Structures are given as C-alpha cells and as structure tokens.
Structure 1
Amino acid sequence: IILFLDARDEANVENINFLFKAFEILLRKENFKLFITSRQRLQKKLEKKFKIKAMTVDPLNENDQLDFLKKFWNIKEDSLGKFDELFTKQYLQTFRIDGIGNHRDLFGTPLLVRMLAEIYSDFFKEADSKLSNEKAMKNDFNNQLKLVDVYDKFVTKCLNETLNKINNSQFGAEHSKRLKIMPESSRNEYQKLAFAEKMPDELITLMCEQHFTTNIRQIRLRILHDKEESLLIEALPDGLKFAHQSYSEFLAAEYLYKRIDKIDISEIDSYKLKALEVLEKQEIIRLFLFEMINSKMKDIHLKFLKAIGEQSAFWACQGNCRNLVKHLMGIEDKQSNNLEKNSFLHYAASCGSKEIVKYLIDQDVDLNSRNLYGETPLHNALKRNDIEIVKLLTENGAFINAVDIRFNTLLHVAVKYASNEIVEYLLEKGIDSNSPNLDEKRPIHIAIQKNSIEIVELLISHRVRIDCIDRRNNNILHFAVLYGSSEILPFLMPCLENEAINSRNLDGYTPLHLAVKKNDLESVKILSSKGARTDSKDKKNNSVLHVAVELSSEEIVKHLIQQCGVDLSCENIEGETPLHLAVKRGDLKICNFLILKGARIDVEDKQKNTILHLAAKSGSADMVRHIIDQKVNINYENSAHKTPFNIASDLKLKGIQKLLLKHGAVADFEEVESSSDSDVDFFEPSSL
C-alpha cells in the first residue's frame, strides 16, 4: 500500500488529525509506504512526526511562472516584447522581493500565480483598452503589490463574474442599480460565511450581531439555491466549501477588520483574550488582518492591538508591517519585556522582515541586545539563513564575536543553520573560528555533525584548529566517526598528525572502536586501511574484535579477521576472548566463524569459566551442542567449583541438563533426579 501525503495545510484540522492517527497505525505494517511532500515550513514537522524523509519538489521558478501567464493570457507573438518588458522587470521583482515574496511559503507560488492570472486576464482581451490596462498593471507593481491586494483583486473579480453570470450579463457592461449594490452585499455575505467557519463561537457571540447564526443559514441556502458557484466557493452534497482555505481566511480577516471598527472602546478589554487566542492559532488570518490594518489604520484598530499586548508588535514585524510597527512601538519601548527577552529587532530578524530591520536600525535600537538565551538579533538572522539581514546588521555595527549563554559563537550558529555563503562571509569578516562552546564543540565539530564536507573544507582553508579535543577527549576523527559519515574521514586524515588515528578518548576508544560500535563497515575499512591499530584496547581491555562480536557485527568481524589479521585470543579485563563473548550471546554464526579461523577453545576467563560454562548459561541448546562437538572437557570446574551441568542445574535449564548428561556430564543423584522432574524443556531454535 502506497500513500502520497500532500496539501496538508489545505485540509481541515480535524480531518488531518484523524488521518495522522490512521497513518501512525498503518506505518507499523510491513506492506505500507508513506511518501510526504510539503511546503518548507511544514516539512520538518511531518518528517519528525512520521520519522521519514520528505520528498523535495522543485519550486515553480520564474521562467515557469512567466510561461504559465503567457499561455493563460494567450499572449500573441507580436506582444511578447512588451509583455516581457513589463513582467520580467516589474512583476517578478515585486513577486520576489515585496510582501508577497515574504509569505510565498505560506500560500504557495502556484496558487498566487494562478490568482494573478485570473486578476489580469481581461487586460489582454480588448485591444482598445490595452494602453490603459498596461498603465494599470504597471501602477499596481510600482506601488508594490501586497498580499492583501492580490486577494482583494481576486475576490472582487470572482464575485463580479459570479454576479454577472447570475444576471446573464457580460463582465464590464453597465450594471443596473441592483447589480451595483450586489457586489458589496455579496462580499459581505461571503465574509460572514468565512467568519462563521474560522472563528470560535465565543468570539462570534462577542463581536457579531444577535441574529448572525440565523443569517448564516439563510446565506448558505440562497447560494445553494442560486447555484452561486465560482472560483471562490463550491457547492458540495454536504454543503458549501471555499475552494481554498486561504480564500476563507482572507474573507474572515476582512470581516474581523470590520467588526473591530464597531467595538465599543470602553469594552475593548472583554475582547482581547479571545482575540489573542484566535490570532495565535490562525496564522494566515493574522497575517491578512495585520496587512489590512497596516494599509488602512484607524484609532480603534491600534487600541485593539495595543490591548492585546506586545505580541501585536512582534506580529507586525512578522508581517513586515512597517507603518504598524511605528505606531505600536514607542521610542521608549524598543526593548520588549516578554519572557524570552527578545527585542523587536530579534523578532524582525527571525522573521526576515528586512524593512522592519532597516526601520529599527534607523531608530538607533541596540543591535547587540541579548535575549534570555544570550542571543543577539544576528543569531536569529543566521538561524533563518538570511544573508541580507546578516549583512545589514554587521555593516551597521552588530558584533560578530557575540556568544550566547552556552558559549555558541555566531560561527557555531552559522555552520549549523546557514549557507556556505554566510559562513564564508563571517570568516572573511574575521570571526573567531576556534572558540569551544559549553560542550567543548567548535564550529568544525558542528560542520562534521552536519556532514558538510564543503563547510569543513571552508573552515580548514581559513586555518581553524583541527587538533582540538572535547571534554571526553574525542578528537576530530572520533567526532567524524560518531556524527559524520565515511565520506568526511578521508578528507580529514591528511590534515592531522599520524597519532590522531589511534588516539584514545576517556573510554579508551580509538576512532576505530567507535566505527565498530556504530556498525559502520565503510569507516572501519577506511580507518584500518589508513593505519588504525586493530590491537588497541579500551579501558576494559576490549579489542575492536571484542566490540564487533559484542554487537554481533558479522561483516565487521569477518573484515577484521580476514583483512586485518586481528588476534583471536586477546583477552579483556574479565579474561574473556572474543569467542567467550560470542558464546555468551548465543551467536552461533560468529562462534563457528571464530573457531574455523583458529580461535582457541580451551581458554578460561577470570572465573575459570570455559566456553561450555558460558554456553550452558546462555540457555541455547544449539550452542551447547556445538561446543560439545569441539571435544571440550565437559566436567571442567570453574573457580566456584561449578561444572557446566551445575550451572544448568542452578538455572533450572532441564533440557541443557539432559543434553550434558547424554554426553557424559557427571552429576550427583539429586541433580539427576531434578533434571527429570519437570516436563518444562529448554528452547531449542533448531527444533522449530
């Protein structure tokens, strides 16, 4: 069963939650495969929830956008020059940089391009209006077309077309008196439908007229009766549905904007908690509302947002609403008092709101203010991977050697979150590249952990120290084995002293030990071929072969024996050989391989246990039988004067007792009687 999950953000929350629970159950089955894809902001959440890697879909690039518009508008060959001049220089510039560009990931480029195609489709139909239409389009783009402008024009176009269709008239013809009233009336009805769909009952009760719910039912019935379907709304068997969630979110925001205008100032506090709750949950509605207020601001809107609290100023930063920020933030309030101690500049940097960052810099805010975690606004810009804001802050005096409370430098943050371009920019600025954080990790450790050969190479080319060790005495190779990949190892080795490859950390592990512990055969091959000692021991005297056997890493065991010639009889601190460990684990394959390759079968551990003692203790009849076949002393006593039979007797392993007796184990009468008392037998895999 293969399912492809896309468009998560366009479905109802209740339906999505139900599907997620179903997917979590289905993913436990072997014949179920789930593919996911999403816009960037949701991709990480989906990957974390389902523990699978999301598919990356190539975005609709600028040429694709232009090609779509040309075909949608049926642009003739003789008009292509004028079209390209207008749209290549103005449309794409606006679409990429302005408010639309800041929020494309929330809405999706294909949706916005389709809406723009619908908005301006009539501009290319009538030759006599071509010049005025061209001027109108240029005017839109020169005035920096905003997100709310796109939705406003699209909704207006859709409603006009729908009403003209109902009244059997052409779009653009003279409207009757009734039709001149209807577009605004119809828009108000759509706003109410959206508001009822998106807002909680408590807020509807607080903000709307008494008969709002009854009115909504009447509107739904009328639209269904008149078959008032359009690009905005669909009539389905179970009722009305907006064609896209963002259409209802825009219309709900418009109605909220209007209802705020009717609030009694003396009662404003009664609205703020419920409104705050809604705005926190409804990101798109919040974005639309703040852009609307930013464009057409009234005193009541400002009082409403100020009543909500300082969060309003941060949302204004997020929406790049410069005019609104000016009014919400007094000069004396440039620093916030929120729990995380973020300043407005922190939030503007983390949102990528370049215009707000510029405005705040012009207001002489502290570029190096630290939040609760010791982070400056530059930390936030780096986490966003926004090189324009990084440059804007550094060129205006932001410290590049600031550290947070965990002593992460800006280079630590850049290596983890940002692009190679930003890392190189900071290095060229002379940033400290060798300081460790509280975990003793330097930027190069983070680059290795990120598995970025390009950044590792970039750091080394700027002469960062690579002979550093962390608090556990791990050197760069230890770290590369633990967190990187086998691809990074060959790149690092020529840069290090020869001794580094056999350096031991506090646990006595060499990089080779760690590669074996990770069951990373490729790294084991690379390290062993470059001179890693295969006879090195950890602090418990375990060799790399001990570690491989302990983890049942059959391929690595074979490589170490066949290609590296490791000592098969080396003993750890307990006197155990690798064969002892294989027997203890009941691993017949590795046990047999070790014996075939010459492992001694007569070696005792510190308690004088033979491999037969350990086989009896493991409870595996197959292992006991295999060891007996090696002609070992079946009645040998360990330091506690226990034979393998005694151990089986102590553990009440009746089947093992019988097997040992059958092959000549010596036992007293009581033990023999005990071994036949019960019908309970051992678990013997070979009998299955």
Structure 2
Amino acid sequence: MDSHSSIEDPTSGHASQPNQTGTSSSMTRVLYNAAAVGKINAFKNIEKPLDHLFTVTKNTVLHIYITTIVTESESKTIFIKEILDECPSLLWQTNSKNETPLHLAARYGHIEIVSFLIERAKNLYQDPDRGEAAREMIWMTTQEKDTALHEALSHNHLEVATLLIKEDPNYSYFPNDAGETPLYIAVERNFRDLVSDVLDNCQSPAFGGPLGRTALHAAVLRDGTEIVSKLLEKLGAQITKADQNGWTPLHLAAYLGINCQSSTKLLLEFDEQIAYMRDIEGRIALHIAAYCGHDDLMADIISSCPDCCELVDKRGWNALHFAISGKCSSRAVPIIRDNSSLSNLLNKKDLDGNTALHLQSLFEDIEEDLMNHPKVNRMVYNKQNLNACDLLLAGEKSQGKKVSYISCHIQ
C-alpha cells in the first residue's frame, strides 16, 4: 500500500474539512491594520456595528489595538475612548478565550489603559455605587479562569496589580485552572511588598496554589522568611494545611534544608502540631529531614517536639531508619545516636523486623557505623530470621544501590 494512501486529496470532494464553527472573520485587512495603529477614521460610517467586527478568534478592535501597543502613554487611551464612544459594549466584549480588553491591558502592563477602562466602567451607570460595574469587569475570568489580577501578576506587572487590588480589596479571588490564586502567585514570585499589601488590606484573601499547596508552601520554597511570618500572622492555622501528597510547609522545609531553618523555627513556634502531621506515606517532617541529612533541621524539630521521634511511617520506619539509609547518614545519624533519650530507636524494628543496623548491613555505601554502639543489639532477628551479622556474612549487600525513598514534587 502506498504510504500516502491514507491522506485524502484536498482537491477531491471527499476531503475532510476542519470545523469552521466560530472561525468566520468580519475584520478586513484594512480595518485590522487600522485597529492596530489606532486610526479612528477607518471606523467612521462603516455599515457593520463595531461589536460585530472581529477576527477569526473573536478579537475586537480594542483587543487588536491593546495587543499591538509597544510603548504606553496617556495618548494611547484616546483611540480607546473614541471607539467606546461609538460602541460602549466593547468594554465588556470577550474574544474566543473569554478575554476582555482589561485582561489584555493587565497582561501587557498598560496601567494607563487599565485605569481608563476601570473609570469608564464606573461611569456607565449614574448610581450611588459607581464602582459596581468596574468590580464586575475586574472579576471576569478567561477560559482558564484568570482574572485581570492573575494576568498582571503572572506577567510581573506589579503597578497594575496594585491598582486592581485597590479597586476591590475585599474580593476573595478564586484559583484559576492551574490552581493559582493571586496571593499564591505573588508569594511564589517573591513580590514582598504586594504580598504585604494584600494581607494588610484584603479581609479574606484566597491563598491556594497548584496540587493542593498554599501560599505558605510557596513562601517556604522561596525561602521567604519575612513572608512566612506575615502569612502565619494574618491567616493563621488554616494556611498550614497539607498539599495533595500530604506535605505540610514543614515537610517542604525539611526537604529543602539549611536555607529553610528560619522558616522551620517560625512554623514550629506557631504550631508544634505541624511536626506530627503525616504525609500520604505516613512520614512526618523529621523523617524527611533525616533522610536528606539536614541535621540542623532535625535538631530543631526534635528540640521542639521530642516525642515525634516515636512516630513511624507505613513501613514502620522511624527517624533512624531514614537517617541510616538516607543521602547523608554521617550528618543525620549522630543527631539520634548521640541523644540518649532516643536510645529506644536504636533497636526498633520496622514491619519487616529490620532495625537500622539491618539497613546498614544491606547497603554498601553507608557512611555511619552502628555495629559497635554499646546499646545496639547486633543479634536481633528480622522476619526472615536474619540478624545484621547474618546479612554481612551472606554477602547480601546491595552494592551501593541505595533506593530513593523520598521525592519532592516541586516545580
């Protein structure tokens, strides 16, 4: 069979055609170019109403003009005013992605145009609450559930974002399709002043992020100690919740390490119970820190909540199991081994009957030795009736193949 036989001849009457629904254009080349450069005369005395004049993706004259602007000035609003005088409904008209002119002005950082559009919306109705129409326009979302504020923050236009927040500080912005709230975006991008502005002026700002995270996860991820403190002060315990993998901000700090020591202390001072929260595998933050070899964070967690060392994950692993099999056992193991109050962990078995010494015997690349510790029972048997010495003599080391037990899904 000819390799091209499955491709239909486009000249034949049987060739499949793409769906043309919603793709017809009423915008001629001349009018498109006039819209791009802001020539108002081209739109005088045309037969078709301006709100029926759009491209194949439903972009109106205003969408084209705002997108085309390179450098902004107050004079750039003159064309917009003249067009809206001719057809006020274009202020609200969306393209095929549900984007209003305000969305585009916010995306491209055109603050003079953003301000003009908002004032124009306020003047639509001569009622005592002139801001209602403007607020409704600010709340409008695209197909991806982005508001104008989402657009401004995602494209780093802080002046525009500040203006939008000022217009309606009490609105609790919902997450977009990516799960991002404006507060989360601002924290993730380390816009400290804007974050403070939101927290100081908004009564109940939404703080969610992708994958069930919160703005506090983002603050820890960016090592934003100042923002961590502010978030805890303003939003309280609700923001310490776990993400979809069960990771609290403390889990994330424990994974990231030394740069998060200040954040770790703030989290523990705010609510020690966060140290006892388990992820979906049953692991607490101490387990994460022990596996990653972050001895300073381990010490901070143990100092605040010493009895959290008694907790085990779904396999029955305690902090010493994680430390001995982790990335830097020479740093993590001494934190537990040299703390006499934690001596009970030295011979604790997991669900397979393995103590930390069994794990040491399984891995060739273990840096820390428990074999000669006076409180370690070298003859304790696991469920296969093997002790650590048996494993060593049987030559069952895994030749340096440590398994990665912990991964962090961060972007």
TM-score, normalised to structure 2, is 0.70
Please give the secondary structure, in 1, of the residue aligned with 2:386. coil
Cα deviation for residue 604 of structure 1 reads 1.1
Cα deviation for residue 416 of structure 1 reads 3.6
Kept in 2: contact 1:420–1:454 (CA 8 A): no
Aligned to 2:298: 557
Residue 316 (structure 2) pairs with residue 575 (structure 1): yes
Residues in 1 aligned to 2:248 and 2:333: alpha-carbon distance in whole angstroms: 25
Change (3 A) 1:374 1:565: same
Cα deviation for residue 555 of structure 1 reads 3.0
Alignment of 1:528-543 (within 5 A): 528-533=268-273, 535-539=275-279, 540-543=281-284
Please give the secondary structure, in 1, of the residue aligned with 2:225. coil
Aligned to 2:80: 357
Match of 1:395 among 114, 119, 128: 119
Please give the secondary structure, in 2, of the residue aligned with 1:496. helix
Residues in 2 aligned to 1:456 and 1:471: alpha-carbon distance in whole angstroms: 18
Kept in 2: contact 1:411–1:432 (CA 8 A): no
Cα deviation for residue 645 of structure 1 reads 5.2
Aligned to 1:446: 185
Cα deviation for residue 479 of structure 1 reads 4.7
Please give the secondary structure, in 1, of the residue aligned with 2:251. helix
Residue 235 (structure 2) pairs with residue 512 (structure 1): no
Task: Provide, for residues 169-204 of structure 1, a one-character-per-residue CA deviation record: whole Å limited to 9, x for no partner.
Answer: xxxxxxxxxxxxxxxxxxxxxxxxxxxxxxxxxxxx
Residues in 2 aligned to 1:634 and 1:363: alpha-carbon distance in whole angstroms: 89
Match of 1:335 among 53, 56, 60: 53
Kept in 2: contact 1:475–1:500 (CA 8 A): no
Cα deviation for residue 564 of structure 1 reads 6.0
The residue type equivalent to 1:349 in the other structure is I
Aligned to 1:493: 232
Change (3 A) 1:567 1:440: closer
Cα deviation for residue 614 of structure 1 reads 0.5
Please give the secondary structure, in 1, of the residue aligned with 2:289. helix
Kept in 1: contact 2:181–2:208 (CA 8 A): no
Percent identity between the two aligned chains: 21
Between Structure 1 and Structure 2, the one with more helix by share is 1
Aligned to 1:200: none
Please give the secondary structure, in 1, of the residue aligned with 2:138. coil
Please give the secondary structure, in 2, of the residue aligned with 1:337. coil
Alignment of 1:354-433 (within 5 A): 354=76, 355-364=78-87, 366-397=90-121, 399-417=137-155, 419-430=157-168, 433=171
Task: Provide, for residues 123-172 of structure 1, a one-character-per-residue CA deviation record: whole Å limited to 9, x for no partner.
Answer: xxxxxxxxxxxxxxxxxxxxxxxxxxxxxxxxxxxxxxxxxxxxxxxxxx
Cα deviation for residue 481 of structure 1 reads 2.9
Change (3 A) 1:467 1:382: closer
Kept in 1: contact 2:214–2:239 (CA 8 A): no
Alignment of 1:63-212 (within 5 A): none
Kept in 2: contact 1:575–1:606 (CA 8 A): yes
- Return 5+ residue gaps in structure 2 as ranges: 1-26, 122-133, 402-411
Please give the secondary structure, in 1, of the residue aligned with 2:90. coil
Task: Provide, for residues 31-90 of structure 1, a one-character-per-residue CA deviation record: whole Å limited to 9, x for no partner.
Answer: xxxxxxxxxxxxxxxxxxxxxxxxxxxxxxxxxxxxxxxxxxxxxxxxxxxxxxxxxxxx
Residues in 2 aligned to 1:362 and 1:464: alpha-carbon distance in whole angstroms: 36
Kept in 2: contact 1:400–1:431 (CA 8 A): no
Please give the secondary structure, in 2, of the residue aligned with 1:369. coil
Residue 363 (structure 2) pairs with residue 618 (structure 1): yes
Kept in 2: contact 1:414–1:422 (CA 8 A): yes
- Return 5+ residue gaps in structure 1 as ranges: 1-308, 657-680, 684-688
Aligned to 2:408: none
Kept in 2: contact 1:502–1:533 (CA 8 A): no
The residue type equivalent to 1:521 in the other structure is Q
Kept in 1: contact 2:324–2:366 (CA 8 A): no
Cα deviation for residue 405 of structure 1 reads 1.3
Larger of the two Rg values belongs to structure: 1
Cα deviation for residue 370 of structure 1 reads 1.5
Cα deviation for residue 404 of structure 1 reads 0.9
Change (3 A) 1:362 1:548: same
- The farther-off stretch of 480-489 and 562-571 is 562-571
Residues in 2 aligned to 1:311 and 1:440: alpha-carbon distance in whole angstroms: 39
Residues in 2 aligned to 1:650 and 1:332: alpha-carbon distance in whole angstroms: 87
Aligned to 1:591: 333
Aligned to 1:628: 371
RMSD in angstroms over aligned alpha carbons? 3.6
Aligned to 2:201: 462
Kept in 2: contact 1:445–1:479 (CA 8 A): yes
- The farther-off stretch of 583-592 and 468-477 is 468-477
Residues in 2 aligned to 1:614 and 1:324: alpha-carbon distance in whole angstroms: 81
Aligned to 1:524: 264
Change (3 A) 1:312 1:555: farther
Residues in 1 aligned to 2:152 and 2:63: alpha-carbon distance in whole angstroms: 16
Cα deviation for residue 343 of structure 1 reads 2.2
Kept in 1: contact 2:294–2:331 (CA 8 A): no
* Count of residue pairs brought into register by the alignment: 343
Residues in 2 aligned to 1:426 and 1:480: alpha-carbon distance in whole angstroms: 23
Aligned to 1:547: 288
- The farther-off stretch of 393-402 and 561-570 is 561-570
Cα deviation for residue 471 of structure 1 reads 8.1
Residues in 1 aligned to 2:364 and 2:262: alpha-carbon distance in whole angstroms: 34
Cα deviation for residue 461 of structure 1 reads 3.8
Alignment of 1:659-674 (within 5 A): none
- The farther-off stretch of 456-465 and 501-510 is 501-510
TM-score, normalised to structure 1, is 0.44
Residues in 2 aligned to 1:332 and 1:518: alpha-carbon distance in whole angstroms: 58
Displaced runs of 4 or more, over 6 A: none
Change (3 A) 1:650 1:321: farther
Cα deviation for residue 400 of structure 1 reads 2.7
The residue type equivalent to 1:406 in the other structure is E
Cα deviation for residue 347 of structure 1 reads 2.3
Aligned to 2:12: none
- The farther-off stretch of 398-407 and 355-364 is 355-364
Cα deviation for residue 439 of structure 1 reads 4.4
Cα deviation for residue 382 of structure 1 reads 0.6
